């Protein structure tokens, strides 16, 4: 059924069913990205589930709790394109069944995935299947640059763009607009950010874990970051005011997935869990799970390097008791001039050795996130810095090449001017924003 059936009715339509829709067929796709030669990257076995895809699936399945979708069958299909193929023919065939309304949502698209997201959209738009694209590219561009040429091109093609977070009544309102034939071309939810208390949490099944090396789960216990690092998009998209889920809800998520699916490990995807205002309650609940209920749960988290200073200094001690066995630190650089240039004042290089020793004493693995191409980097200094990382004792590291945002140039004085897709490397893992006096590092 097309949108015209709802549009053609006089007066407001109370529910989707009363408007003639008999089933909602939703396909959520986390897009892959392309190789330098233009081939989509796929792997036989995934490492860990996309948290955005997982959480969006929970929100999509929760649509039935809203009045407009009452009694409407909602089919939700989750596709991680890194390990799965989008069932294009099945989606198109299903959309032609009388009474079925199909939609495709491309979720969590980062800058290096955005070209692929547009290509996926092109498979469905000719068949009048609505396509929505959201994620950090759309959100980051609108928050930090504005409506860039690539976003305008998507709107001209009929793609619906969604910026910001869609918890609360936001996703239901978008889907209802689409079903009523009243969809806006752009939904900007960047400000204000939504409350995260009592949101639906993902309920995993064994089928959800198929195709992944280990049965890991993911969840964000909170969002936002209190710091002002210049290269970071988190604070521009999720804000600097910390928001968090109800701690007991996260504990129940862990308990339920262990009992129902056997999941014993999770990645808490918060950008900085140490600044979650209720981290102590969360850790206390996880400690009870482990020590009183005997659930052998472990988790990986992300934290700032100053978290050990949170009074009374027991953050990592409690984290270890709660099951933390690995921490991702945004080290970014061991060059003090680089850190100052990016406003990363909380990172004190002189304290790294003691911090790593402290965590190793608790049985916690330390992973360093490191940016190459910051203002004071040279080829020679990078080699020295990597050697220093090893000397400090970080167990592993991820390296990211500083990359200007699309439609901006990075110049020696930090200025920006309009341009196209100017990137240092097409293999960039995490795009970063414009910084002062930024130099260039190219892969040979």
* Domain parsing of the chain, residue ranges: 4-189, 206-401
Alpha-carbon span 364 to 422, nearest angstrom? 39
Angle between helices 315-322 and 279-291 (to 10 degrees): 40
- Residue 182: its pLDDT value, please? 95
The domain 4-189 belongs to what CATH superfamily? Cobalamin-binding domain (3.40.50.280)
Provide the 8-state DSSP code for 27: E
Give residues with Cβ within 8 angstroms of 39, minimum separation 6: none
Nearest Cα residue to 203 out of 243, 254, 148? 254
Amino acid 206: pLDDT: 87
List CB contacts of 309: < 8 A, sequence separation 6 or more.
none
Residue 13's pLDDT is what? 60
Decide: 132 and 161 in contact? Cβ < 8 Å: yes
The CATH code of domain 206-401 reads 3.20.20.70
> In tens digits, what is the pLDDT along the chain, a chain of 444 residues?
333 334 433 335 689 999 999 999 999 999 999 998 999 999 999 888 899 999 999 999 999 999 999 999 999 999 999 999 999 999 999 999 999 999 999 999 999 999 999 999 999 999 999 999 999 999 989 988 899 999 999 999 999 999 999 998 999 999 999 999 999 999 999 999 999 988 899 888 888 888 888 889 999 999 988 777 777 777 778 878 889 999 999 999 999 999 999 999 999 999 999 999 999 999 999 999 999 999 999 999 999 999 999 999 999 999 999 999 999 999 999 999 999 888 888 889 999 999 999 999 999 999 999 999 999 999 999 999 999 999 999 999 999 888 766 534 444 444 333 333 333 332 333 333 323 222 222 222
In terms of residues, how long is the chain?
444
């Amino acid at each position: 059924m097309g949108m015209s059936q709802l549009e053609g009715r006089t007066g407001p339509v109370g529910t989707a069913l009363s408007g003639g829709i008999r089933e909602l067929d939703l396909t959520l796709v986390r897009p892959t990205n392309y190789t330098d030669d233009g081939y989509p990257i796929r792997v036989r076995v995934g490492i860990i589930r996309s948290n955005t895809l997982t959480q969006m699936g929970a929100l999509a399945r929760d649509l039935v709790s809203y009045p407009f979708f009452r009694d409407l069958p909602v089919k939700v299909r989750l596709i991680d394109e890194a390990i799965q193929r989008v069932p294009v023919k099945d989606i198109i065939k299903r959309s032609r069944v009388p009474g079925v309304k199909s939609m495709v949502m491309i979720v969590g698209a980062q800058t290096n995935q955005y070209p692929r997201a547009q290509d996926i959209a092109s498979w469905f738009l000719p068949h009048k299947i609505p396509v929505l694209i959201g994620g950090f590219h759309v959100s980051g561009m609108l928050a930090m640059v504005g409506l860039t040429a690539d976003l305008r091109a998507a709107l001209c093609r009929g793609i619906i763009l969604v910026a910001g977070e869609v918890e609360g009544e936001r996703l239901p309102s978008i889907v209802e607009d689409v079903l009523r034939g009243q969809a806006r071309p752009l939904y900007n939810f960047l400000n204000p950010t939504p409350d995260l208390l009592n949101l639906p949490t993902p309920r995993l099944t064994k089928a959800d874990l198929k195709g992944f090396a280990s049965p890991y789960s993911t969840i964000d216990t909170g969002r936002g970051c209190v710091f002002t690092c210049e290269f970071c998009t988190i604070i521009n998209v999720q804000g600097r005011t910390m928001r968090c889920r109800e701690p007991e809800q996260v504990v129940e998520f862990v308990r339920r997935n262990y009992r129902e699916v056997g999941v014993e490990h999770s990645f808490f995807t918060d950008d900085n869990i140490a600044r979650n205002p209720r981290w102590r309650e969360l850790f206390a609940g996880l400690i009870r799970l482990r020590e009183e209920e005997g659930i052998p749960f472990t988790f990986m988290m992300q934290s700032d390097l100053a978290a050990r200073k949170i009074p009374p200094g027991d953050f990592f001690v409690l984290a270890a008791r709660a099951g933390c066995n690995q921490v991702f630190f945004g080290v970014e650089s061991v060059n003090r001039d680089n850190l100052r240039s990016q406003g990363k004042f909380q990172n004190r290089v002189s304290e790294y050795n003691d911090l790593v020793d402290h965590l190793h004493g608790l049985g916690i693995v330390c992973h360093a996130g490191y940016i190459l191409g910051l203002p004071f980097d040279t080829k020679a200094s990078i080699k020295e810095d990597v050697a220093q990382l090893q000397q400090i004792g970080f167990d592993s590291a991820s390296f990211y090449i500083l990359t200007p945002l699309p439609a901006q140039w990075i110049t020696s004085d930090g200025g920006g001017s309009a341009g196209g897709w100017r990137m240092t490397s097409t293999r960039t893992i995490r795009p970063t924003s414009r910084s002062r006096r930024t130099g260039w590092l190219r892969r040979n």
